[in-house]
Amino acid sequence: MVFGDSLSAAYGLALESGWVHLLEQRLAQEKFGYLVVNASISGETTAGGRQRIEQSLAQHRPAIVIVELGANDGLRGLPLTAMGDNLGAIIQACRRHGARVLLVGMRLPPNYGIAYAQKFQDTYLQLAQRHKLGPVPFLLEGFADRRELFQADNLHPTAQAQPLILENIWRPLRGLLNRLLKT
């Protein structure tokens, strides 16, 4: 299950162009035998995700949850301690339901101030350490500075960027999938 915001909900794109749909195709191509549920909502904050995680887990019963939340918290300048608490609660809920977690990191543009942007980024690393999660990829790694790969709002990646997002997710996810197959 992908539990995210507009970056996972294919905002401004045809759903079949989004990285989540591409992930579903990759899983089928590599014969992993998993279905993908996209429980992402455009505009979602970590507080909203925290409120709806239990229902999503009960409804879909995922083996793995890709948590891609926090960008909207950062863009709104919300307190990072609350963001960390919300993400921590989401991770704990996933584990209580027996799901493995891949936490996806985000970064903010520098116009939010260097200190806030660094603390924002560090929140993901601290959560990964505290909850003993694997490496936290940056969703937009390798192309965040390439304007041509973003829609007119300068926030949402274009269809051409979606395969790059998939590759950023695929590396750590594949390791998680392989570990699940061994258990």
Residue 156 annotated among the catalytic residues of the structure: yes
Q: Which of 60, 97, 131, 156 is catalytic?
A: 156
Q: Which residues contact 152 (CB under 8 A, 6 or more apart)?
A: none
Contact 121, 73 (CB under 8 A): no
Q: In the chain, which residue ranges form alpha helices assigned H by DSSP? A: 19-29, 46-60, 71-75, 80-96, 114-130, 162-182
Q: Which of 6, 8, 40, 56 is catalytic?
A: 6
Contact 72, 43 (CB under 8 A): yes
Q: Identify which of 71, 113, 111, 70 has the alpha carbon closest to the alpha carbon of residue 88.
A: 70
Cα–Cα distances in angstroms (integers) from residue 111 to residues 74, 77, 108, in the given order: 11, 11, 8
C-alpha span between 101 and 80 (Å, rounded):
20
Q: Which residues contact 147 (CB under 8 A, 6 or more apart)?
A: 154
Residues involved in catalysis: 6, 153, 156
